[in-house]
Structure 1
Amino acid sequence: MSSVLTISDTEFEAEVLQSAQPVLVYFWAAWCGPCRLMTSVVSGLAATYNDRLKIVKMEVDPNPTAVATYRVEGVPAFRLFKAGEVLESTEGAISKQKLESFLNPHLA
């Protein structure tokens, strides 16, 4: 079972932009109620997609650089990266099924 890696601004380039596989970045905040709901969904996806997708999470408050660069305006937020480029983005709590439909076209 794969786990969700917690990263910071200083690790973003190595863990996300230079990753050989697609990366889902989950932006969250400790004070965010909907983020608490999404945490178990994201953990479940990490177990399901561990062979095709890397999942990382970043707390927004201590990591302003990535938040500003990728225009995260609300949390929870998701950015799907492949080869250093953002393929998809969404903000707000969404169901596991919607998150899977967000990912699946890019994970063939």
Structure 2
Amino acid sequence: MSTTATLEIDATITERGQTTVPAAIRKMLGVSKGAIVFKAMPDGTVIVEAKRDETEEDPALEAFLTFLAHDIARNPQAPVPLSLELLQEGHDLVGDVSVDLDSPLDDD
């Protein structure tokens, strides 16, 4: 794995094996406090990531759901059913595409 660092910051490890995560790194990780994860790679590099709670709210999803709630409140009329033409147009767009929601995403 050949990588070029975009930021390099020196840090010191104490006799007890402790160190402080520099402010710039905390900012890059998007954390001010809490847990981080160190991942040792086969080539000897170490990746530091913020440890995210599996049940942590997704800010994008939360914003979208809030938007929908406000939109529904502004437009309380009953939902309009899909027309057969719009439904057929959707089928024509996706064709025979099948999606496995459990399969991992490609790197592309």
The TM-score with structure 1 as length reference comes to: 0.23
Task: Answer 1 or 2: which has greater helix percent.
Answer: 1
Q: Which has the higher contact order (CA 8 A, sep 6+)?
A: 1
- Which structure's CA Rg is the greater one? 2
Task: Answer 1 or 2: which has greater strand percent.
Answer: 1
The TM-score with structure 2 as length reference comes to: 0.23
